[in-house]
Amino acid sequence: MFRDLMNWAFKQADVTPTFASQHCLAVRGGGCRACAEVCPHDAITITRTVKIEPIDCTGCGLCVAVCPSFALAPRERVVTDHAVRCSQVQGETTSVVCLARLQSSDLVRMAAPGRPLTLARSNCADCDIGGAAVPAAIERTAEAARELLALHGRTLELEVIEVERFDLPRDRVEISRRELLRGGWKEVRRSSSVLLAPLEGFAEADEDAVDRRALPVEHQRRIRAIELSKPEPDAAVPLALPEVLDGCILCPACTRACPTNALRRVFDGDAAGGARLELDNDRCIGCDACVEACPVDVVRMRDDVTWGEYTGPPKIVYRADRPAAPLGAVARASSEPVPGTAPEGEAPTGEDAAGPEPVDDPATSADDGGNDGGNDAHAS
């Protein structure tokens, strides 16, 4: 009875982030330990999955801030506002447990031209929730938001202040009685549109378009922010895509490591064809998993990406025709399945089918159909 009561109490005050195992690099067999290393309370354990101890977790969000594949996310979103305080600062403004929980899409939603966004924090170095690493985490998040806003010709007017109490200055948002009498509802609508100018289509209504079973939610929000800027095809965007240098042996390491199945190996049955590595540009989240997994160190991430390239059709990032395939390479121009792989749409079998075992975690999002055993296709 007492245990059930305690479990209920913890659930009511659950500040742990949500965890999507299908996007976790550690679960997919990588060596990522970023979340465990940054946690100031040793609340995270990584084995074949990521376990967050709710009793030890303070909800600071530092693990969310460093996760390269967006597998961790806050359980709630901050309402659109122009001032937010951490839980250790007194006041009447919108508050979050810790400012490190804020994501770049949150700052983009709250930013508006001619109006500063204020984040009020306590003395982080003496705080038992997040600690001294919080200010740097806030700045990294702000930098990502600045890159997104720059596409709209805007800057992030951000002020981070250290105070004991912070109350919202009402004159920032209230439309005065005099303005209302002068301009009527037309003035109200105009003033409101200025306040909501941060990206009208980026408001809460857009959450309905988020597919929580597909790409990581925060990545989808960032892409939405880019889309709203209506970039030209040759416009540079703050995204990264992998390139593969000479020396690739077409092993399945990168395809198995990719948390969104953006990479796949294709084996042609035509003798004049060959084996190749293909990339679905718009599924890549720039997490560096393929870079870390490559056993011959020939994968690099490049950030000179254009919108047309990202939204374009899949492209071949490496091709190895049969005569040029290095000795011992996995590449084969054959219609026969390569051991340990399977035709596209079929599950691999045997030892090489592996990849991580399913994770029985109620906080884990449903799998998006990814193939942990590699993403291969065979053409005949």
**Per-residue pLDDT band at 303 (split at 50, 70, 90):** very high
Split at pLDDT 50, 70, 90, the class of 202 is: low
In a domain, 166, yes or no: yes
Pick the more confident residue, 311 or 371. 311
Q: Say if residue 95 is in the same domain as residue 226.
A: yes
What is the pLDDT of the chain when averaged over all its residues? Answer: 77
Same domain, 192 and 219: yes
Q: Give the pLDDT mean for 263-273.
A: 72
Domain limit, last residue, from 32, 48, 73: 73
Q: Decide if 56 is inside a domain.
A: yes
What is the three-class DSSP state of 301? Answer: strand
Q: Are 212 and 264 contained in the same domain?
A: no
84 with 139, same domain?
yes
Select the highest-mean-pLDDT range: 9-13, 305-309, 344-348: 305-309
So what's the pLDDT on residue 129? 95
Check pLDDT > 70 for residue 249.
yes
Number of domains in the chain: 3
Higher pLDDT, 132 or 366: 132
Q: Which residues pair with 17 in a beta bridge?
A: none
Look at residue 43 in the predicted model and tell me its pLDDT.
96
Give yes or no: residues 110 and 200 share one domain.
Answer: yes
For residue 192, being part of any structural domain is answered with yes
Same domain, 68 and 88: no
Among 30, 58, 73, identify where a domain stops: 73
Q: Residue 275 corresponds to which tokens in the numbers above?
A: 């084996």
Q: Domain containing 27 — which CATH number?
A: 3.30.70.20
Statement to judge: residues 322 and 192 lie in one domain: no
Q: Tell me what pLDDT residue 181 has.
A: 45
275 pLDDT band (50/70/90 cuts)?
A: confident
Q: Is residue 6 part of a domain?
A: no
Domain shared by 46 and 168, yes or no: no
Give every CB contact of residue 184 below 8 A, 6+ residues apart in sequence.
none
pLDDT at 128: 94
Residues 73-114: tens digit of each pLDDT: 998 877 667 889 999 999 988 899 999 999 999 999 888 887
- Domain co-membership, 248 together with 211: no
User: What's the average model confidence in pLDDT over 342-363?
Assistant: 38
4 within some domain: no
CB contact set of 143 (below 8 Å; sequence gap of 6+): none
Q: What is the mean pLDDT of residues 259-282?
A: 83
**What integer pLDDT is reported at residue 352 of this predicted model?**
38
Is 303 found in the same domain as 222? no
> What percentage of the chain reaches a pLDDT higher than 70?
67
**DSSP string covering 118-172:** EEEE--GGG-SSS-TTHHHHHHHHHHHHHHHHHTTT----EEEEE-SB----GGG
User: Which pLDDT value is given to residue 210?
Assistant: 54
Residues 148-181: tens digit of each pLDDT: 999 999 999 999 999 999 987 655 544 444 443 4
- In the listed set 230, 255, 273, which residue is the last one of a domain according to the structure? 230
Q: Are residues 184 and 281 located together in one domain of the fold? A: no
- Domain extent, residue 82, equals 76-230
